[in-house]
Amino acid sequence: MIVGLEEIGQRASTGALPGWDQVDVLVDDAYRFALRGTGGAVADYIPALAQADPDLFGVAVAQVDGGLHAVGDVDVAFSIQSISKAFVYALVCQNFGHEQVMARIGVNNTGLAFDSVIAIELNDGHPMNPMVNAGAIAATALMPGSTPGERWEAIQTGLSAFAGRALALDDEVYRSETATNQRNRAIARLLESYRRIDTDPLDAVDVYTRQCSLLVTAKDLAVMAATLADGGVNPVTGRRVVSATVCRDTLAVLATSGLYERSGEWLFDIGLPGKSGVAGGIMAVSPGKAGIGTYAPRLDPAGNSVRGQLATAHLSRALGLNIFASDAAVSPGG
């Protein structure tokens, strides 16, 4: 549970964002509120990630009208990690459609850690959802392309379209994870044994590791999230990236599984589809209104950024983004 949330007034999610100046002030408030999160630790199971400055912190909000609010270290680049899963899933849905992807990958929470092998075994080899590593590697394998190189190119181009600029690979993070990702290779082999993956499993892990190593900033995450909030059109470039239906499907999956085994708590506190990554990024999507991107490398035990959760929780309340928060249409006696 997030301590101190009750002191932030909950605005209903019906209606529009507050005016520009007020959003600016509230993004600042959220940044300062989140500074109270001094706990957590930088991820070190991928050795290159351990070098991050633990005190970096940035918060960005991209409105669906193209406006951007940003405070703190919003231009610092870090690897997107698991947040890439949301966008690769969207790209795969765009190619294969709702039913196929639902049947092959699934949309239910595992209740277990993102790299759980037990989750696969408990579910007859089914990857369960695209936000845990098993489902994400299976989704990467489904990307269009006849070679791993073509699939990688489709991912890099697709994620760059979500961000509205060309995203580059962090070669050091990619190499570091490649040298230490035995578990992901095991997951892919296990999927292969259950015939849940059609391409070479180790090729799929390699492309997955590359997609996780794409460099983004908090501002990029806000714009990528805003594209999902804007029916699939990037509000900065004006370019359509995926269909509105694909956005809807992606947000539903993020709501159930975006924060892994903590997805229920996240939805209860924050009430928005969101996705975290182990380098310290979090994005959250307020359909029809805005995208939020945060960066703060210190993580809680489930691998979710401590300050990113606090800042997003504050914004969800103060900006009236929680999709479950309504007001009475007619006040009693009114």
Burial of residue 240, with CB atoms counted within 10 A of its CB: 0-12 exposed, 13-18 middle, 19 or more buried = middle
| Site membership for ligand GLN, residue 177 (CB under 6 A) | yes
Determine whether 85 is an active site residue. yes
By rule CB under 6 A, what count of residues binds ligand GLN?
11
176 is annotated as an active-site residue: no
Q: Which of 78, 114, 174, 295 binds ligand GLN (CB under 6 A)?
A: 114
317's tokens: 């309340």
Query: Which entry of 42, 71, 74, 82 is annotated as an active-site residue?
Result: 82
β-bridge partners, 275: 283
Interface mask (CB under 6 A) for ligand GLN, residues 178-207, using x and -? Answer: ------x-----------------------
280 in contact with ligand GLN (CB under 6 A): no
> Is 174 labeled as ligand-binding?
no
**DSSP characters for 48-69?**
GGGGS-TT--EEEEEETTS-EE
Q: Does 81 bind ligand GLN (CB under 6 A)?
A: yes
**How far apart are alpha carbons 273 and 33 in whole angstroms?**
21
- Residue placing its CB nearer to ligand GLN in the complex, 135 or 277: 277
Q: Is residue 187 a contact partner of residue 115, using CB atoms and an 8 Å limit? A: yes
In angstroms, the CA 256 to CA 282 distance is 15
Q: Which of 72, 235, 271, 277 binds ligand GLN (CB under 6 A)?
A: 277
Active-site option among 31, 89, 174, 260 = 260
Q: Are 220 and 84 in contact (CB under 8 A)?
A: no
CB of 39 to ligand GLN, least distance (A): 18
What is the DSSP-derived secondary structure letter of residue 320? Answer: T
Interface with ligand GLN, residue 261, by CB under 6 A: no
3-state secondary structure 225-240: HHHHHCCCECCCCCCE
Give yes or no: 289 in active site: no
Cβ-Cβ contacts under 8 Å for 328 (sequence gap 6 or more): none
H helical segments located in the chain: 20-34, 83-96, 98-104, 118-122, 133-142, 148-163, 171-180, 182-193, 201-212, 218-229, 244-257, 263-269, 306-318
Burial of 125 (0-12, 13-18, 19+ CB in 10 A): middle
Interface with ligand GLN, residue 101, by CB under 6 A: no
Q: Does 212 bind ligand GLN (CB under 6 A)?
A: yes
| Residue whose CB is nearest to ligand GLN in the complex, by number | 82
**Is residue 181 marked as binding?**
no
How far is the C-alpha of 131 from the C-alpha of 110, rounded, in Å?
10
- Does 260 appear as a known binding residue? yes
Contact flags string 300-319 toward ligand GLN, x per CB under 6 A = ---x----------------
Minimum CB separation of residue 86 from ligand GLN in Å reads 11
Is residue 243 flagged as an active site residue? no
To the question of whether residue 25 is assigned a binding role by annotation, the answer is no
Residue 184 labeled ligand binder: yes
Considering the complex, what minimum distance in angstroms separates the CB of residue 81 from ligand GLN? 3
CB 328 within 8 A of CB 20: no
Residues making up the binding site for substrate: 82, 133, 177, 184, 208, 260, 278
Residues that bind ligand GLN (CB under 6 A): 81-82, 114-115, 133, 177, 184, 212, 277-278, 303
Query: What are the residue numbers of the active site?
Result: 82, 85, 208, 260, 278
Residues making up the binding site: 82, 133, 177, 184, 208, 260, 278
